[in-house]
Amino acid sequence: MSYEMINSPETVQIDDLKFRVLISEKQIQNRIRELADEISQEYGGKVPIFVGVLNGAILFLADLIRQLSIESEIDFIKISSYGDERISSGEITMIKDFSADLRGHDVIVVEDIVDSGLSIQYLRRKILNMKPASLKFVSLLVKRGVAKVDLTIDYVGFEIENKFVIGYGLDYRQQKRNLRAIYQLVIDDPTRSKTAHRDEA
């Protein structure tokens, strides 16, 4: 079996949960190139520091900085709001703090996905206290209409509907981050299955 087939199948089954490709590897990489061009233009002559939010953002950050035409630095933080489940607890704790001193730097926070927006809100407060020269946010995905807080994401890869997704850094119980595409949970529509049953009967 080839490497491509192992890491980008059409569907993924985890116990009784079925996931289907939502955004292909190619679509992801094309969009990242566009975002990198935009950022390179806006930060021309500057050396922004990209702060990746572990663990989910590592693949996105790695691919994004490789497409930049400007100098950059990187740092990582780890926060937790989810535990190992699919629903946010709403409570945020810092698990690994910044290593870099962000004072006076142009900071770009790199997120995998914005859901409730609570993580972003928490990070914004925390980083602004460190007095950066500027602060922007880039997120590969944003769930449409879900944010509980007023937030500005400066660069968005894709807006998606409010369904659970895995792959390309995003996990289900810490696994499936290595998938090369993004997969969405298939939720069976009960009205459709009823019709199907009637058809069969």
Tell me: does residue 169 bind Mg ion (CB under 5 A): no
Sign of the Cα torsion 40, 41, 46, 50 reads: negative
Alpha-carbon dihedral angle through residues 138, 154, 149, 77, given to the nearest 10 degrees: 30
Tell me: does residue 115 bind Mg ion (CB under 5 A): no
- Pick one of 59, 77, 108, 114: the residue that binds ligand IMP (CB under 6 A): 114
Active site residue 106: no
Tell me: does residue 116 bind ligand IMP (CB under 6 A): yes
Burial of 12 (0-12, 13-18, 19+ CB in 10 A): buried
Tell me: does residue 106 bind Mg ion (CB under 5 A): no
Query: Cβ of residue 2: shortest distance to Mg ion, in angstroms?
Result: 30
Tell me: does residue 110 bind ligand IMP (CB under 6 A): no
Q: Which range in 22-30, 61-69, 116-124, 129-137 contacts ligand IMP by CB under 6 A?
A: 116-124
Torsions phi, psi for 12 (to 5 deg): -130, 130
Q: Which of 63, 106, 112, 115 is catalytic?
A: 115
Residues pairing with 37 in the sheet: none
- Pick one of 56, 117, 157, 167: the residue that binds Mg ion (CB under 5 A): 56
How many residues contact Mg ion, by CB under 5 A? 3
Tell me: does residue 112 bind ligand IMP (CB under 6 A): yes
Helical H segments across the chain, by residue range: 3-7, 25-42, 58-66, 118-128, 190-200
Q: Which range in 19-27, 104-112, 130-138, 176-184 contacts Mg ion by CB under 5 A?
A: 104-112
Dist. CA 100–CA 79, nearest whole Å: 16
Distances in whole angstroms, Cα of residue 157 to Cα of each of 2, 142, 165, 200: 28, 8, 14, 42
Q: Which range in 25-33, 65-73, 111-119, 192-200 contacts ligand IMP by CB under 6 A?
A: 111-119
Number of C-beta neighbours around residue 46 at 10 A = 13
- The residues annotated as belonging to the active site are 115
Which residue ranges make up the site for ligand IMP (CB under 6 A)? 53, 56, 81-82, 88, 111-119, 164-166, 170-171
